[in-house]
Amino acid sequence: MRSQTTFEGVWSGILDTGAQRLRIVFRIRRNADGTWQATLDSPDQGARGIPVSAVETAGRQITLRSEAVAGEFVGTLSEDGKRLEGLWKQGGGEWKLTLTPGEPPTRKRPQEPKPPFPYTTQEVRVPNRKAKIELAGTLTLPNGKPPFPAIVFLTGSGAQNRDEEIFEHKPFLVLADYLTRAGYATLRMDDRGVGGSGGDMSRATTLDFAEDALAAVNYLKTRREIDRKRIGLLGHSEGALVAAIAAAKAPRDVAFLILLAGTGVPGEQILYRQAELIARKSNLAEPLIQRNRALQQRVFEILKREKDDAKAQQAIYEAIVQSLGVEASQLTDAQKTTFQAQAKSYTSPWFRTFVQLDPAPYLRKVRCPVLALNGELDLQVDPDQNLPAIERALRDGGNKRITIRKLPGLNHLFQKARTGLITEYVEIEETFNPEALEMIRNWLDELGREK
């Protein structure tokens, strides 16, 4: 049994902020010298092993402070040792949080396929000779007589594994399973520096990911089970942009494109609209929305003007502090660390490239059939901003084999949603809407009949 005064072990609870309910997990351990160490998980945000920078105990009270998230939990151990009751403080707010021993309950994900599968699954290594790296992936091959048409999956922004796992959803696993059962081979890969893949994600840009996509196509062309004339790309969010760039660079190698929540305008415009839509749907006050927009504009101006990263980071840091209406001397150490990290993220090669990257010139060079789908409730890639731009660029380039659809009631992940807010993603059990899956398969089937 747990000692009444022992904090050691795994503690979990639900943090209810009103806007969302997040599972919080602390893993606390006492060292041989009597000192404490701990880590923090927020599984609903895909964050695990976050460092806890300070652990302080006094009788039945424990304080767990994480500079990485600028947050702090202060809790008191119950008499029976079965609860830690206290407050979580972060970003100027505080909320009640009760922790109990053990791991948190898992979320229901009914669409996630489980083995055994009615098809062949192989672990593969995809060489990108230009970058001198290998990407780890999973190749699925349908039952039946080869060669099969094949689809390369391309993930959205950020470090993603081959399943594009987010909020304990695995949309690429669901897609791959569904399409393989329908007769299509699929290849999904860990991003650079993720899972089993080589390379450095921190130095990579969207243009580099397009080279990874073409490396995957070239790999599939070496497989005798694959019809080398029917290899296409399926990209989600930034992955759709990656797919368009790859198809523009190698039009003879890419047979079709499936663009899911793809962008049609430069990254700067995407981020302006994204921030505004999320803020308004979250009922933020108008002055705050305008302040955030002004800060975004200031950040992008600095990035365009200042090529030196260190100077840009300092200027952005000062802009962030100024937007808060406080002096830098008034900030806590945790706040300074957070804002400095934020400023540094803006100067990454990926962000500098994405902000200015325009999909239109690439889309105008795409000659293969294109299916572009966006959810009506997508707040991250606004369908009304992007679908018309995608269609216009494709038609301007002379491509007439295009299908554009805005799907009612679906969010950025193609889940059936209420608001489209990111905070909903984890609460929704559906991983990928069945009607959207069917639409993709039907389009592919029709393409096959045209052959």
Residue 206: is its pLDDT beyond 70? yes
Residue 261: is its pLDDT beyond 60? yes
Mean pLDDT of 234-250: 98
pLDDT-based confidence at residue 5 (cuts at 50, 70, 90): low
- H or E segment and range at residue 37: strand 36-42
Could you tell me what percent of the chain has a pLDDT over 90?
86
Residue 382: is its pLDDT beyond 70? yes
- How would you list the strands of the sheet with 402-407, edge to edge? 120-128, 133-141, 185-189, 148-154, 226-236, 257-260, 370-375, 402-407
For 411-434, how does the pLDDT look when each residue is reduced to its tens digit (9 = 90+)?
Answer: 999 999 999 999 899 889 999 999
CA atoms within 13 A on the CB side of 167: 19
First to last CA, the chain: 68
Token output for 373: 């789908």
Token output for 311: 């100077």
Angle 112-180-242 from CA coordinates, rounded to 5°: 85
Token output for 157: 């922004």
Average pLDDT score, the chain: 94
What pLDDT score was predicted for residue 3?
44
Q: Is 124 exposed, middle or buried (0-12, 13-18, 19+ CB in 10 A)?
A: middle
Contact 191, 213 (CB under 8 A): no
Place of tokens 């700067």: 268
Instruction: Give the residue among 396, 440, 414 at the shortest CA–CA distance from 233.
Output: 440
What residues form DSSP beta bridges with 140? 121, 186
What pLDDT score was predicted for residue 44?
82
**Single-letter amino acid code for the residue at 144:** G
How far is it, in rounded angstroms, from Cα 290 to Cα 287?
5
Token output for 277: 């839509």
- CATH for 120-266+357-450 is 3.40.50.1820
pLDDT-based confidence at residue 160 (cuts at 50, 70, 90): very high
Token output for 286: 């108008």
Residue 451: is its pLDDT beyond 70? no
- Number of helical (H) and strand (E) elements in the chain, helices listed first: 12, 17
Q: Which residues contact 297 (CB under 8 A, 6 or more apart)?
A: none
Contact 183, 147 (CB under 8 A): no
Residue 19: is its pLDDT beyond 90? no
For 91-101, how does the pLDDT look when each residue is reduced to its tens digit (9 = 90+)?
Answer: 778 999 999 99
Angle 217-171-230 from CA coordinates, rounded to 5°: 25
pTM: 0.88
Domain boundaries for CATH 3.40.50.1820 within the chain: 120-266+357-450
386-397: burial string, b at 16+ Cβ within 10 Å, e else: bbebbbebbeeb
CATH label, 9-101, candidates 1.20.120, 3.40.50, 1.25.40, 2.40.128: 2.40.128
Mean pLDDT of 19-43: 91
Residue 173: is its pLDDT beyond 60? yes
Mean pLDDT of 381-387: 98
What pLDDT score was predicted for residue 2?
43
How far is it, in rounded angstroms, from Cα 221 to Cα 215?
10
Mean pLDDT of 154-173: 95
How far is it, in rounded angstroms, from Cα 438 to Cα 71?
43
Q: Which residues contact 123 (CB under 8 A, 6 or more apart)?
A: 136, 137, 138, 139
Mean pLDDT of 152-168: 94
Domain boundaries for CATH 2.40.128 within the chain: 9-101
Instruction: Give the residue among 19, 65, 1 at the shortest CA–CA distance from 422.
Output: 19
